[in-house]
Amino acid sequence: MAKAKIWISRLISYLLLATLLFMAFVVISSKASGGEPSILGYQLKTVLSGSMEPGIKTGSIIAIKPGGDMARFQTGDVITFMDGPDRLITHRVEEVKGEGKQIQYITKGDNNDAADPTPVLSENVVGEYKGLTIPFIGYGMNFAQSKEGAALLLVLPGALLLIYSGFTIWKAIREVEATKKNEMPPVNN
């Protein structure tokens, strides 16, 4: 029974520490990149609309491969592009117009009835969606990018780790005191 308690205690400590380190990585990498984190050369983007459902659910995160020749995409490819200074959209290429550096893409969300009203210039493409989607995590990542979210996601696991450590130390001291009390000879007056 004692070994099981020690094992559970260590497991909880490791899980809290891993959570703290993961949250620190997510927050720091998202702040350092000026947006969403990058892992193994893929950028993680949050999907906050249903235009690509059912393939990409609202609230998911997706992995896109940035860089390369942005004039390489063909009909059927899914691309992420800038639609204004602070707005990214991920839609499927419906048609490719132009040649060389003058490529434009006609895009459409899979769940939309019509193509997007404005063609996408190849220079506005950020990357290509590579098929990796993790549902519902996008809401958390979106929250983590806010100042409040970043603070909470760094402070909360650290606070939980400190509280748990304090509880473990208090419990150990109590056990040592109980052992000393049982080992002391009785005092005769």
In tens digits, the chain (189 residues) has pLDDT values of 678 877 887 787 777 777 767 766 766 666 665 555 666 777 778 788 888 888 888 888 888 888 777 888 889 999 988 887 878 888 999 988 888 778 889 999 888 998 888 888 888 888 888 888 878 777 776 776 677 877 777 777 778 778 888 888 888 888 888 777 777 666 665
CA-to-CA distance for 49 and 110, rounded, in angstroms? 12
pLDDT for 82 equals 86
Q: Hey, which residues are catalytic here?
A: 49
With beta carbons less than 8 A apart as the criterion, state whether 22 and 14 touch: no
pLDDT for 5 equals 75
Q: Is the pTM of this model over 0.85?
A: no
pLDDT for 65 equals 86
- Record the tokens describing residue 57, joined without a space: 């659910």
pLDDT for 28 equals 66
Nearest to 51 by CA among 104, 92, 6: 92
With beta carbons less than 8 A apart as the criterion, state whether 26 and 37 touch: yes
With beta carbons less than 8 A apart as the criterion, state whether 30 and 36 touch: yes
pLDDT for 12 equals 78
